Structure 1
Amino acid sequence: MRVNDRHLSFYYEMDDDIEAVHIDRPRTALLIIDMQYSQISRPQGRSEAEQVRWEPFYRKIEEVVLPNNQTILKAFRRLGMNVCFAKVVTRKRDGSDRSLNQKGTGFNASYTVDGDPRGEIVAELAPIADEIVVRKGTESALTGTNLRLLLHNMGIDTVVVTGVLTDQCVSSTVRSLADESFQVWLVEDACMAATEAIHNHELEILNNLYCHVINTEELLEALSNS
């Protein structure tokens, strides 16, 4: 089953079974992944060449991804629906508590210790009372936390996922949720990878197998009709 004609991989090009997007409010939670200062704000000390390489990412975050996350978050709060956040931080100052892939070189060489203001969720999306925040040293928000248990205890079987990075923590979380038999809606214009090419490639891989990829407008329409 698919819900639109976008981001179709080879496996689903011939699938004619199209259904409407449906959200069961009491059984659905929003999960915002790694929308922290350390992940979506321009860092200090990068070379000019690196600043140029990453500038399209930060523009997309500022102009599209962050505003859409704000819109979705506002809708979930207005409807009294469950909201969860995941943020990637370490407990150990030397970062030794991170998973192996989090200890990689290059892009993964840097990390933020829990309690550092850079690791906080950005003010535009700041959690409020009664919203769950989990801390992880892994890519998946399920593998490194008790989020799976919390969702099950709350009667949640469907998760709407947003955040960064599409091909890394978002993808790992979506796959984990699917393996735990949650239905997943991934909001394509409320998440982002380092480049549009990587972002779109990962959406094609995930779509219809591990999740259904929809956009903010489609989500809001489904919420209003639920």
Structure 2
Amino acid sequence: MNGMPTISKQTHTTRRALVLDNNSYFLDAVEKWAEINDIVVSATSHSDDFFYRLAMNDDIDIVFVSYNPIWTRTLHLLDKLQRFYPDIRTVVVVDSPHTPSVILMRSFGVNIIITKQDILSCLQKTITLDSSSLYLSPSIAGQVDDEHIDAKHRLTHEGVMLTQMERMVLAELSGEKTIQLIARERGCSAKTVSQHKQNALCKMGFRKLKEVFSINSKTNMAGLIYLPATLLFCQSYLDILKFSF
């Protein structure tokens, strides 16, 4: 199994959470949250290992998946989660309240979205939600309030849901595959792939693909403010935790 150790499938009564992220500040915050709520947390930065752990543990009922527009494999992972693990609460954690990214997450069936700038209460809230509950953290909700009414509609329960083919095309395009290559690999015409792309963009309210995967001025490609933002996120958690005992 690609060099992975062979282990028996685990079944426990303890609640478990699985995190897909490699940022130590965020992981520290999640571990503090889990300790308060008697939840066992495991973390990985590799999608293959992520699904391996899901398959080996029946008692994982909540997963945290980090998303950034420059990470190309996350959309494939989210699509797989929705298809094969629909009952597990999926919490997507975005770096900042970037509305196109949030709309994209909603179109992939994700209902719980928070940012790394949010406070402990947002993580606490996820415990009370089921997989079908809609929850946008305060920083995201505040950003959406400044957006056009169409954007608000796409973030509600009545918001758009892409088809499996539309999700696949967007996921492949996010990995910088061309329409021609996707068509060849899928055994269909480039026109068909292009139509799926246009249908997805239309449903989400965008005209061009770069609008979906663009990064706003608060988050640059080099991630230069990623660390400060995450430090603030972690510090706000730790400040609250001081008063939790």
Shorter-chain TM-score bucket reads 0.3 to 0.5
TM-score between the two structures when normalised by the length of structure 2: 0.35
Between Structure 1 and Structure 2, the one with more helix by share is 2
Between Structure 1 and Structure 2, the one with more strand by share is 1
TM-score between the two structures when normalised by the length of structure 1: 0.37
